[in-house]
Amino acid sequence: MRECVRCQKVFVEQVVRRFDQIERIVQFCFRGVDVRICGLSNKVCSACIEREWIERFEQEGETYIKICDGQIKVDWKLIEERWSQDLELGRKIFWGFLRDLGVLTKEARGHFILCVFSDGAFPRDDRLWPSDYLYFTKHEDAVAYAKEAYKDKDWKVWQVMMGG
């Protein structure tokens, strides 16, 4: 049991084992959509993490991602426009909100990879690969993003059938 550094309430830390790592996960429902936040500090309780995530989303994410009645609608065009102006904002949206909402995932199997072909280089989208690759959970999101981000390049979306 720990005391939350934000609200000072005592809480029990919930962790899961993934491969050889122990990871803290907080899950909650927001506007009918499951939110799953991974890799969290063990000093903040779930209630504070949820409240802070919602506040951040309403301030920073809602412009790009609409959530209504359990449906997620991503404005890929606006994300791409802002991404080209502010790399850190783009990473915050991709690595934060879209992953927490399940639009993107680190899990390869059964999900979709965007491959961009340029100059004979390894076909991948480097913006989705700053450290670990992110995969799209829906084919239509991968295609919509690629159409906005890579209008002048050859790209392909493949479903990954093997992997972790």
Q: What is the pLDDT of residues 34-44, one digit of tens each?
A: 999 987 777 88
**The last residue of a domain, from among 57, 81, 104:** 57
Q: Rounded mean pLDDT of 105-131?
A: 70
Residue with tokens 């991709």: 94
From residue 99, give the alpha-carbon distance in Å to each of 7, 37, 94: 26, 8, 7
Residue 67 has pLDDT above 90, yes or no: yes
What is the structure's pLDDT at 131? 52
* pTM of this structure: 0.83
From residue 107, give the alpha-carbon distance in Å to each of 82, 103, 119, 159: 26, 12, 28, 12
- Parent domain of 117: 63-164
Same domain membership, residue 138 and residue 73: yes
Position with higher pLDDT, 67 vs 42: 67
Number of domains forming the structure of the chain: 2
**Strands 10-11, 33-38: parallel, antiparallel or unpaired by DSSP?**
unpaired
**The last residue of a domain, from among 37, 57, 77:** 57
Name the 3-class secondary structure at 153.
Answer: coil
What is the structure's pLDDT at 152? 85
State the chain's mean pLDDT as an integer: 83
Dihedrals phi, psi of 85, to nearest 5 degrees? -90, -30
Same domain membership, residue 156 and residue 87: yes
Same domain membership, residue 138 and residue 84: yes
**The last residue of a domain, from among 57, 79, 102:** 57
